[in-house]
Amino acid sequence: MSRSKKGTPRAHARHRKVIKAAKGYWGRRKNTFRTAIQAVEKAGQYAYRDRRNKKRDFRKLWIQRINAGCRLHGMPYSQFMHGIKLAEIELDRKVLADLAVNDAKAFEAIAKQAKDALEKAKKAA
């Protein structure tokens, strides 16, 4: 059996892997190895960065939705969140935002509990 050296098969496999990752790109980026490497590396950088940014973006969206729901019940976001903590309601922002958008009655009940807890804390102080 002949001895296999490192050359062509490995290089071809590496090229094929990069070209496969660049599938769907526009122009020469999809089929020219040198430009495909650059495109795939940059795409990887964007993907790495945006996996972290996605968490920030969703948190901002949830806060905006909760704030809109709170203001319908006569209190700003910060007071609402403080009231929830005082009322010992342990729902995260994702769930609260979903309730604010999809289940107005449940959100209204939570807002009422938060308001009552705030008033109770004011009287105690």
The mean per-residue pLDDT over the stretch 83-100 comes to: 95
Distances (CA, A) of 40 to 29, 51, 53, 67: 9, 16, 20, 40
CB atoms within 10 A of CB 94: 14
- Among the four given CATH numbers 1.10.3720.10, 3.60.15.10, 1.10.1900.20, 3.90.930.60, the one describing domain 10-124: 1.10.1900.20
**Verdict on whether the full-model pTM lies above 0.75:** yes
Asked if pLDDT for residue 45 goes beyond 80, the answer is: yes
Please tell me the predicted confidence (pLDDT) of residue 7: 66
Asked if pLDDT for residue 6 goes beyond 80, the answer is: no
Q: What is the rounded CA–CA span in Å between residue 14 and residue 8? A: 10
CB 65 within 8 A of CB 101: yes
Q: Domain-by-domain residue ranges, the chain?
A: 10-124
